[in-house]
Amino acid sequence: MSNGEPGNDRLGRNQRREDARDKAKAMRDQHRKKERRNRLFLQGGIGVGILVILAIVAIVVTSSIKPAVSGPLNMQSDGITIGKGFDAVRTPAIPANGLPIATTRDKKSSVVTIRIYLDYFCPVCNSFETGNKTQISSWLKSGAATLEIHPIAILDHSSQGSRYASRAANAGACVANYAPDDYWTFTQAMYAKQPKEDTAGLLNPQLVSVIRNAGVHDMTKIASCVNTEKFAGWVTAATDRAVSGPLPDSNVKTAASTPTVIVDGLFYNAPNGDWGNAANFNAFVVQAAGATFDAGSSSTPSPTPSPTPTK
């Protein structure tokens, strides 16, 4: 028998039911709010992800669009040709968005064509230059050979982030543009003062000093060109063309390493890696040129386009 009154018991049960309904409703509301937040977070995450993807695409597209850069004068082939008496052959510059025009070799001429792809930071190039400069100089002086020099930059990774190889190649482009007849002298000086690999190399003002001390002309324009890296874009493009190929008038496809030396279309691979051996290179030149080669020739390289004003 219950001690409470029946009405009070019913009231207690009703209150408990109301409390239970209120709690259930509160739980449903809380669940709905949680689902709404999750949807908002998901939508926001997708939106952020889309923005990130769009930003990445924009960066890729922007970086792939390179500004149009013209090349230096007298390097229409991406290289400068030095002929009899160390005079450079004058050519127009490669126009912006243009491609190089390869030098046409006269296969009937007795003049030997030597083409070299070099990096001014490359010690092996220095070995070739040091060992062969005397006989190459004599061939250029007499007109027995022409030398086409292609400065490229493949050793930037060895200069502690200073991009010395690229800056040195740009210096070469500056000399070709403003003082082309001094290019052989410039090359001699660059190898005489070549810094060691895995160093920062020479700063631009130091490069200017090397060029000035070599007696190169028109130093005011050249100094500005070197310091502003006027032809940096061309250096990158010319290097890409050389290392990806194909190389014109050559039995080797690319300038995969430096020096890459080509004589009358034939690739010179120094025996035993002895790039400084002048006798070996002389023998190869004689073999490549055949009976037509005469180290004492007074032939004049052909063609020799009329001079083009410097810019």
Domain boundaries, position 138: 80-292
Q: Distance between alpha carbon 297 and the CA centroid of its chain, in Å? A: 37
More confident residue, 101 or 298: 101
- Claim to verify: residue 124 and residue 88 sit in the same structural domain: yes
DSSP 8-state code for residue 88: B
Mean pLDDT, all residues of the chain: 86
pLDDT at 299: 42
H or E element that contains 146: strand 145-151
Cα dist from 66 to 97, 183, 233, 239, whole Å? 10, 29, 9, 15
- Claim to verify: residue 48 and residue 137 sit in the same structural domain: no
Q: Which of 35, 65, 95 marks a domain boundary? A: 65
pLDDT at 310: 42
Structural domains counted in the chain = 2
In a domain, 168, yes or no: yes
- Claim to verify: residue 140 and residue 266 sit in the same structural domain: yes
Q: Is a pLDDT exceeding 50 seen at residue 168?
A: yes
- Claim to verify: residue 154 and residue 276 sit in the same structural domain: yes
- Claim to verify: residue 51 and residue 113 sit in the same structural domain: no
pLDDT at 71: 97
Q: What is the pTM of this model?
A: 0.76
In a domain, 274, yes or no: yes
- Claim to verify: residue 49 and residue 164 sit in the same structural domain: no
In a domain, 301, yes or no: no
pLDDT at 127: 98
Nearest to 262 by CA among 245, 247, 244: 247
Q: Which bin fits 67, alpha (ψ -120 to 50), beta or left (φ > 0)?
A: beta
pLDDT per residue as tens digits for the range 39-80: 766 666 655 555 545 544 444 443 344 456 799 999 999 999
Give the range among 9-18, 73-82, 185-194 with minimum mean pLDDT.
9-18
At 128, which CATH number? 3.40.30.10
Burial class (CB in 10 A: 0-12, 13-18, 19+), 295: middle
- Claim to verify: residue 3 and residue 127 sit in the same structural domain: no
Instruction: Quote the tokens at residue 184.
Output: 């052989």
Nearest to 75 by CA among 102, 97, 107, 96: 102
pLDDT per residue as tens digits for the range 227-244: 999 999 999 999 999 999
In a domain, 153, yes or no: yes
Distance CA 293, CA 299 (A): 11
In a domain, 171, yes or no: yes
In a domain, 200, yes or no: yes
Backbone phi, psi, residue 262, to 5°: -130, 125
